[in-house]
Chain A
Amino acid sequence: MQARSRRFKANAAAALANPVLQANLRTSKGKFVDKRATAILELDDFEGTREAARQVRDHVLKDLDLWLERFETTATARGASVLWAKDGAEICRHVADIARRHSVKKVVKSKSMLSEEAGLNQALEAAGIQPVETDLGEYILQINDNEPPSHIIAPVVHKSLDEVADLFERAHKKPRKTDIAELTREAREALRGHFLSADMGISGGNFLIAETGSVALVTNEGNGRMVTTLPRVHVVITGVEKVVPTLDDLSMLMRLLPRSATGQSISNYVSLLTGVKQRDEADGPEHLYFILVDNGRADLVGSEFQDMLRCIRCGACMNHCPVYQTIGGHAYGWVYPGPMGSVLTPLYLGIDQAIDLPQAATLCDQCGVVCPVKIPLPGLLRRLREKQMEKRLRPLMERVALKAWAWVAARPRLYDLATRIGVRYLAWLAGGRDRIGVLAAAPEWTLGRDFPAPEGRTFRELYRQRSATVAK
């Protein structure tokens, strides 16, 4: 996907000024956040479960190469082919090769964020193959001129019912519907034929199970099952970090993933797929391919950012993020938005490609406390800020101001003098009022709010005057 992460500020400004997006963000926040809170109560011991999940994920990352080899062995033993892709371009090459080999003309896709990373749909079209998105949200985006998703679980969280109704009327050339169930039925009918006539299905993979060589797909709509049951070829595209050791680990993670994502106790369908159609079976693919993808992941192993690889793509972090809640996902400019996107985008695309993302956070930790695998997101964001400092990627004025503050703060007498002058100046700016309307020194503050005036004297000078006991 073409990255627009360098235009974060412009994107965010547009998002703040978009009334439809703002209305949608307000309603969706309540739904995801409140439902999750209720669902978590069903677990007797949420904190214990997330600690167990963290341990499972760390256990795998510690020996990731061996777990991948184990998966490759067990999957191959069941008739699957395991391919490896260094980057998005290689994903596209593999898929095109497979399609050619099997004379594929049409592909039906269930959700794969990696295919977004790789720009797979464009590559398929360029090779003369028709890709059809079947996840309702992804389908809506596809027929809207391949608009990018704004959330990893709910790709059209930014769209209103009216927008979808208009879109369907244009695309399907049927009378406009306004009832959500009717729109869904219309999408079902539009896609049904594609499921039945597609030569190849492409899916992501929520987890790869090393014990059995299986892929687990966590879905609600049934399109995941359609895409992996009906066509003759099935391709799974997923990141190398997605492997888990056993089926019991999957069971434990399944207590956290749906609850953290949408507030469901369980997703409608959990499909565990192993190998190809048996000789005497009526359904299932004849050919199964796994494409295990690096695209930046391998380099995080053993690094100070390794914790990010624990991610199980639930979306809880963005749902709870005050910044995401006000600007939505498109502003982040790439495949992954919110806190996890602010960590992954600079790591996968290059720190200089996403300077603002780690900075655009209050470090409130609303994300960290809900992450089902305890990724220390604020700490990782801060570490990215440190890297920007080290590489001198911050604006000069900002670096100077910070150094000046720290330098002065280390020198109490100088600090005393500077701050006494500073607060008197600010109080003068307020001109006798209790607030300052335009603060030239920090204009972004006063764009959207007033700056309350200081009292005009520092505490330390007043305290000195009152002659209290002073140490040293």
Chain B
Amino acid sequence: MRVGLFVTCLVDLMRPRIGFATLRLLEAAGCEVVIPAGQTCCGQPAFSAGDRVAAAALAKKVIAEFEGFDYVVVPSGSCADQIRNEYAGLLAAESAWQARAQALSPRVFELTDFLTRVAQVEQLPGTFRGSITYHDSCGGLRHLGIKQQPRQLLARLPGVELREMVGAEDCCGFGGAFSIKFGAISAAIAERKCDKAAATGADAIVGGDLGCLLNIEGKLRRLGDETTRVLHVAEVLAGDC
């Protein structure tokens, strides 16, 4: 399987180790992984802000860079959602581009979805020991059906104890630019998420979207919680922590 890895702009800028963890997982699953050097952003910030023109331009760039692969794997539900579900609509006015978007769409997967449904991995290199509570990011959950996949994979690690929080599916309040346009509301929503996670007593909060994780971690630390770890599912599965 020839896989194009779309690392996402947040991972690229903030936590490269998540990108390397994703790479390691895909290679361990037997994939030939290619990382197009010119990749930048899927365009969701522009799309959500209402700038269809900019979002469409970035969509074309991503399509051109990635349509040659068997699969495109993304360590983010919201970016995978953008590419898989929104690109065709964005390019509806240009039928040739729309056709290319539609052709690419079924080959685009969020990481845990790919590992369970396509690669069907059995072994995982992760060595995490401790309790984990999983945060379901909105885009992946509601638009890609990401729910059981990360839990199935985490359950394969013998040292992991999964604890479901009440409200695992509740939005954490990140919402992209929302977090800096309406910071007070965003932080209040984040605090509720942190409370729900804390109620499980879990050692770590794990999720599939770095935006959510930065939001949750930032709130935890401001609340004074220095011990609960906040990790991307790729890091945990790949044995980085």
Give chain A's interface residues, CB within 8 Å of chain B. 9, 12-13, 16, 322-323, 325-327, 356, 359-366, 368-369, 382-389, 394, 398, 402-403, 405-410, 412, 415, 419, 422-423, 435, 442-452, 454-455, 457-460, 462-464, 468-472
Q: A365-B142, A385-B50 are in contact. Are A457 and B16 (CB under 8 A)?
A: yes
Q: What are 14 A-B interface contacts by the 8 Å CB criterion?
A: A326-B189, A327-B185, A361-B178, A363-B178, A382-B47, A398-B49, A406-B57, A422-B13, A445-B179, A445-B218, A448-B186, A449-B190, A460-B37, A472-B36
Residue B71 is within 8 A (CB to CB) of chain A in the complex: no
Q: B45 touching A405 by the CB < 8 A rule? A: yes
Q: B51 touching A369 by the CB < 8 A rule? A: no
Contacts of B83 in A (CB 8 A): none
Q: B143 touching A365 by the CB < 8 A rule? A: yes
Min C-beta distance of A118 to chain B, whole Å: 30
Contacts of A458 in B (CB 8 A): 12-13, 16
Q: B43 touching A406 by the CB < 8 A rule? A: yes
Q: A442 touching B180 by the CB < 8 A rule? A: yes
Q: B181 touching A444 by the CB < 8 A rule? A: yes
How many angstroms from the CA of A198 to the CA of B131 in the assembled complex?
Answer: 64
The winner among A415, A459, A460 for most chain B CB atoms within 10 A is A459
Residue B54 is within 8 A (CB to CB) of chain A in the complex: yes
Q: A449-B222, A452-B217 are in contact. Are A471 and B34 (CB under 8 A)?
A: yes
Q: A472 touching B45 by the CB < 8 A rule? A: no
How many angstroms from the CA of A301 to the CA of B145 in the assembled complex?
Answer: 33
Nearest residue in A to B8 (C-beta to C-beta)? A459
Q: Which of A422, A459, A472 contacts B16 (CB 8 A)?
A: A459
Q: B34 touching A452 by the CB < 8 A rule? A: no
Contacts of B150 in A (CB 8 A): none
Given contacts A16-B188, A402-B54, A470-B34, 16 further A-B contacts (CB under 8 A): A12-B182, A16-B185, A323-B182, A323-B189, A359-B178, A365-B142, A382-B48, A402-B45, A402-B46, A403-B51, A409-B9, A446-B183, A447-B187, A454-B13, A458-B13, A471-B34
In the complex, chain B residues 206-231 whose Cβ is within 8 Å of any chain A Cβ? 214-215, 217-219, 221-222
How many angstroms from the CA of A448 to the CA of B17 in the assembled complex?
Answer: 26
Min C-beta distance of B72 to chain A, whole Å: 12
Min C-beta distance of B25 to chain A, whole Å: 15
Q: Which of A326, A360, A369 contacts B178 (CB 8 A)?
A: A360
Q: A412 touching B40 by the CB < 8 A rule? A: yes
Contacts of B219 in A (CB 8 A): 448-450
How many angstroms from the CA of A382 to the CA of B20 in the assembled complex?
Answer: 33
Q: A12-B182, A366-B138, A460-B12 are in contact. Are A470 and B37 (CB under 8 A)?
A: yes
How many angstroms from the CA of A472 to the CA of B61 in the assembled complex?
Answer: 13
Nearest residue in A to B49 (C-beta to C-beta)? A402
Q: B187 touching A449 by the CB < 8 A rule? A: yes
Q: A415 touching B48 by the CB < 8 A rule? A: no
How many angstroms from the CA of A392 to the CA of B52 in the assembled complex?
Answer: 14
Q: A459 touching B173 by the CB < 8 A rule? A: no
How many angstroms from the CA of A409 to the CA of B8 in the assembled complex?
Answer: 12
Contacts of A388 in B (CB 8 A): 50
How many angstroms from the CA of A408 to the CA of B46 in the assembled complex?
Answer: 12
The winner among A323, A364, A365, A442 for most chain B CB atoms within 10 A is A364
How many angstroms from the CA of A356 to the CA of B51 in the assembled complex?
Answer: 16
How many angstroms from the CA of A471 to the CA of B68 in the assembled complex?
Answer: 10
Give chain B's interface residues, CB within 8 Å of chain A. 4, 7, 9, 11-17, 19-20, 23, 33-41, 43, 45-52, 54-55, 57-58, 61, 65, 68, 138, 142-143, 170-171, 173-176, 178-192, 214-215, 217-219, 221-222
Nearest residue in B to A437 (C-beta to C-beta)? B222
How many angstroms from the CA of A376 to the CA of B46 in the assembled complex?
Answer: 19
How many angstroms from the CA of A422 to the CA of B12 in the assembled complex?
Answer: 12
Nearest residue in A to B65 (C-beta to C-beta)? A472
Q: A419-B13, A460-B12 are in contact. Are A363 and B183 (CB under 8 A)?
A: no
Contacts of A323 in B (CB 8 A): 182, 185, 189
Min C-beta distance of B135 to chain A, whole Å: 12
Q: A385 touching B49 by the CB < 8 A rule? A: yes
Q: B174 touching A362 by the CB < 8 A rule? A: yes
Min C-beta distance of A180 to chain B, whole Å: 26
Q: A386-B50, A449-B219 are in contact. Are A444 and B35 (CB under 8 A)?
A: no
Q: A471 touching B36 by the CB < 8 A rule? A: yes
How many angstroms from the CA of A21 to the CA of B65 in the assembled complex?
Answer: 50
Min C-beta distance of A434 to chain B, whole Å: 8
How many angstroms from the CA of A386 to the CA of B52 in the assembled complex?
Answer: 7
Contacts of A469 in B (CB 8 A): 33-35
Nearest residue in B to A466 (C-beta to C-beta)? B20
Contacts of A403 in B (CB 8 A): 51, 54
Q: A389 touching B174 by the CB < 8 A rule? A: no
Min C-beta distance of B182 to chain A, whole Å: 5
Q: A362-B175, A458-B13 are in contact. Are A409 and B7 (CB under 8 A)?
A: no
How many angstroms from the CA of A366 to the CA of B181 in the assembled complex?
Answer: 20
Nearest residue in A to B170 (C-beta to C-beta)? A322
Q: Which of B14, B17, B45, B186 contacts A452 (CB 8 A)?
A: B14
Min C-beta distance of B188 to chain A, whole Å: 4
Q: A326-B189, A448-B186 are in contact. Are A405 and B46 (CB under 8 A)?
A: yes
Q: A470 touching B35 by the CB < 8 A rule? A: yes
Q: A365-B142, A366-B171, A471-B37 are in contact. Are A406 and B180 (CB under 8 A)?
A: no
The winner among A325, A448, A468 for most chain B CB atoms within 10 A is A448
